[in-house]
Structure 1
Amino acid sequence: MKLVPFFLVCAILGGCTTTPVRQGWQDDVERLGVGAVTSAWHFAAQWGMFDLYFDAMTDDAVFMGTDASERWTKAEFMEYAREPFSDHDGWTYKPRDQHVAFSADRKTAWIDELLDNEKYGVLRGTGVLVKVGDDWKIAHYSLTFLVPNEIAGEVVELIAGDE
């Protein structure tokens, strides 16, 4: 009689199955986190939300602008942004088509994204984010103009003539 409950438990547990967890779900969760940070960062720039914008960056972050002279540390970039952000109207780059890759330990993420801008058209942003505690922070971001190959020679000549 003592074996009946044992076999009953075995039969019940043996009938239970587990659904295998899809591989890569951790990357999906982290990708959402990275996307949330970069989307909020672009939103904060558009509305001149100084603290939100710069809180999304690591203390040693670097921002690379479109001009060859534009390599800013976070402190330098904060100084540059004070004036445009002072009236709560910064700059607008609307992200789309973002790609994210992760290091094996999921503590570093690399992004590239296309950005729409009213004045400049389509640009590309590339960046590196690092995990700080439970949060993703932007450690490096580079903003670049996209030049069609067909006119690249002309553009290079214009730039060379400007230097």
Structure 2
Amino acid sequence: MKSIYILILLISLNNYSQKKTESKALDIKKEINIILNNWHKAAAEANFEDYFNAMSEESIFIGTDATENWNKKAFMNFAKPYFDKGKAWNFKTLERNIYSSLNGEIVWFDELLNTQMKICRGSGILIKENGTWKIKHYVLSMTIPNNISNDVIKIKAPIEDALIDTLQKQ
């Protein structure tokens, strides 16, 4: 009889632990959604300070062009003229998936965005720095419907063939 009580206790503790873990994951997802929504909002409102404060000092932003692989400082330099004109970019989230590490210190996500380039995909990683979530890595990609990919390849081939040659010579 004693072993039945121990078994029930162990099952109860396991269920409690599992529910606590699920609750923490939901809290993280809510927090990350707010951070990413505010980050996109800061760009739409040309709020340079809020936009870049959301990013880690060692962050990387990879844009849609093959040459766009910026550290935070380089990305700030690229983006500043857009923000200074009062019009950066306006990305509206259509769909977002958020995942977190078991210890809740690292988050990765992917999102579909409605942009001036039509649907784009963003993906990235956030880490906790001194108790605050920071965007560490972000990749923005244009989506290309499969049924027109050959047409797009023909358009971009001359530009990217030249870049391929340059990169292969390095």
Q: Using structure 1 for the length normalisation, give the TM-score.
A: 0.83
> Is 1:138 matched with 2:135?
yes
1:61 alignment counterpart:
59
- Structure 1 or 2, whichever has the larger Rg, is 1
Q: Considering only aligned residues, what root-mean-square deviation do their CA atoms show, in Å?
A: 1.6
Q: Deviations over 1:88-143 (max 9, x none)?
A: 321111112110011111111011001001x3111100010001122111000010
2:27 alignment counterpart:
29
2:68 aligned residue (46, 67, 70): 70
2:149 alignment counterpart:
152
Structure-1 separation of matches of 2:32 and 2:86: 24
2:92 alignment counterpart:
94
Residue 59 of structure 1 aligns with an amino acid whose one-letter code is E
Structure 1: which 5+ residue stretches go unaligned?
Answer: 1-19
| Paired residue secondary structure (2:86) | coil
| Paired residue secondary structure (2:59) | strand
Q: How many residues align?
A: 144
1:115 alignment counterpart:
113
Residue 92 of structure 1 aligns with an amino acid whose one-letter code is N
1:128 aligned residue (125, 128, 142): 125
Q: Deviations over 1:16-72 (max 9, x none)?
A: xxxx58350100001111111111100000111011000000000000000000011
Q: Using structure 2 for the length normalisation, give the TM-score.
A: 0.80
Q: How far off its partner does 1:153 sit?
A: 1.8
1:80 alignment counterpart:
78
Structure 2: which 5+ residue stretches go unaligned?
Answer: 1-15, 161-170
Considering fraction of residues, name the structure with more helix: 2
Structure-2 separation of matches of 1:68 and 1:101: 27
